Structure 1
Amino acid sequence: MKCTKGIKACLFIGHFIGCFILLCVLNFVLSIWPYYLQYIVHRATVTDFSIDNFNLYVIGYTLFLVVITYFAPIIKKEDHILWSLFGVTLAILFVFSTAFLGFEYHDYITNGKNYSKELKKFSFFMANIFIGFNVFLTFCIAVVQSVSYSLSKMKKV
């Protein structure tokens, strides 16, 4: 049986949607994995379970691991100024986020007595930028991987 262009397009779209959904679900599960453990600990010790700024940075770092393991070989291999600037952007974002994570850790140790509300709000804002940037890049990775997988499957048809 010979496949027409319409059938091939439907197969491509089906492969793409299936792969994309699977990758998004796996990235979501990976990014909130530390909270499964934290929830279990809080249930066992009967304490309050809340996501504060420190936990937001943990989510951001978990997503950053996904992003950096995908983009590091590309940045290293490609010899273009835009890839170099992207690598520098990732490094700067990592440094700022690490500084604010240190701030959040110190704030936790001192029971929040040493820092102003404005600094805490900015830390919350920075954590959301870190997570948003990593979610966007993870979404882009899922799209690229889904397209490449779907195209490889279409070559076999």
Structure 2
Amino acid sequence: MMWVLAVLLGLAALLQLAVHTAPDTLDAERALAEGLAARDLAHKKEIERVRNERDHFEHLLATGGVRVSVPATCRPVVASDPAAAGEPAEARAELDPAFAAAVAGITSDGDLAIVDLNACIDRYNEVRFRLNALNALNTLIGNTGAQTP
């Protein structure tokens, strides 16, 4: 009979622990969901910002509002040419607007990839922070929590 009493007391202690940790776990889960939702919203806004910048730049390229040039190497000027006197200006070659838009598209894809990677890192850190907080709480009350990634 004594062992039955010990088992019942043990079950009562486990039930009490579960009752005390369940609200904390639910609060932690709710906080995690809210934190991830906020990070997702920030990620969507950043993606929208990068796309708007790309669209604006492509519009400027198409309308001639901006021209893109690159350094170019030209053949040497003959010394007897009177226009060659003084310091020569840096030679530049203007890119075709369609080619400049293609290059801008590549850089925009890179910007979007960086935004996505940063969002992934932010989500990981959010989960890690919330899990560490829950583990610290569980340690204080004597419960073993989940492992930190």
TM range (shorter): 0.3 to 0.5
Compare the two structures and name the one with the higher helix fraction.
1
Compare the two structures and name the one with the higher strand fraction.
2
Q: Which is greater in Rg?
A: 2
TM-score by length of 1: 0.37
Highest relative contact order (Cα 8 Å, sep 6+), 1 or 2?
1
TM-score by length of 2: 0.39
